[in-house]
């Protein structure tokens, strides 16, 4: 069980480490866009859209890693007052009743749109934009899959009572 948890955590950590550089790239590209527009009078739709693509990729693919490191928003009305057993029950409820079914539902309902987008290789959002909307839509099932994998690791960790993360 520990090996499976470690493998799932490692996968989330690897994805998070890889995509975190998009934050820097996004800032640099946005800086370039502002300088190009206001200093040189140059604007390009595809370059502007690239910030949207990077932003979507960063947040959609980074969700599993964020769950791993405890970075998601938590409403702590009662949670902090509970002991470990109470917290574990709330976390299990959250994963098994809220997060996992929601991700499965989003995956189920988004799949036809993603498959259709790939079948026609859906083009840009705007004239002159990036000709890869199908890749942007693919982030939806990837988001669901990554969150489901990390949620499974969290559930297993909760069930065996291990709170340690590598």
Q: Report DSSP letters for 113-129, one per residue.
A: HHHHHHHTT---SSTTS
Q: Is residue 165 very low, low, confident or very high in pLDDT (cuts 50, 70, 90)?
A: low
- Whether residue 127 lies inside any domain: the answer is yes
3-class DSSP assignment, residue 69: coil
Q: Is residue 61 very low, low, confident or very high in pLDDT (cuts 50, 70, 90)?
A: very high
Number of domains in the chain: 1
For residues 78 and 69, give the distance between their C-alpha atoms in angstroms, rounded to a whole number: 21
| Tokens encoding 131 | 């000709």
* Tens-place pLDDT, residues 69-120: 988 887 778 888 889 899 999 999 999 999 999 999 999 999 999 999 999 9
- Whether residue 166 lies inside any domain: the answer is no
SS (HEC) of the chain: CHHHHHHHHHHHHHHHHHHCHHHHHHHHHHHHHHHHHHHHCCCCHHHHHHHHHHHHHHHHHHHHHHHHCCCCCCCCCCHHHCCHHHHHHHHHHHHHHHHHHHHHHHHHHHHHHHHHHHHCCCCCCCCCCCCCHHHHHHHHHHHHHHHHHHHHHHHHHHHHCCCCCC
- Whether residue 153 lies inside any domain: the answer is yes
**pLDDT reading at 125 higher than 90:** no
Residue 130 lies in domain: 2-160
């Amino acid at each position: 069980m520990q090996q499976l948890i470690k493998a799932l955590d490692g996968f989330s950590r690897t994805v998070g480490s890889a995509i975190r550089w998009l934050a820097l790239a996004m800032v640099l590209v946005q800086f370039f866009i502002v300088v190009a527009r206001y200093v040189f009078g140059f604007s390009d739709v595809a370059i502007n859209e690239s910030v949207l693509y990077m932003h979507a990729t960063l947040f959609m693919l980074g969700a599993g890693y964020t769950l791993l490191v405890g970075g998601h928003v938590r409403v702590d009305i009662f949670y902090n007052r509970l002991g470990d057993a109470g917290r574990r029950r709330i976390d299990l409820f959250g994963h098994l009743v809220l997060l996992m079914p929601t991700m499965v539902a989003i995956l189920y309902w988004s799949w036809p749109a993603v498959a259709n987008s790939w079948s026609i290789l859906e083009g840009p959002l705007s004239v002159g934009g990036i000709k890869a909307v199908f890749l942007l839509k693919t982030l939806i099932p990837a988001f669901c899959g990554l969150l489901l994998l990390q949620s499974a690791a969290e559930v297993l960790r909760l069930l065996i009572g291990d709170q340690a993360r590598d």
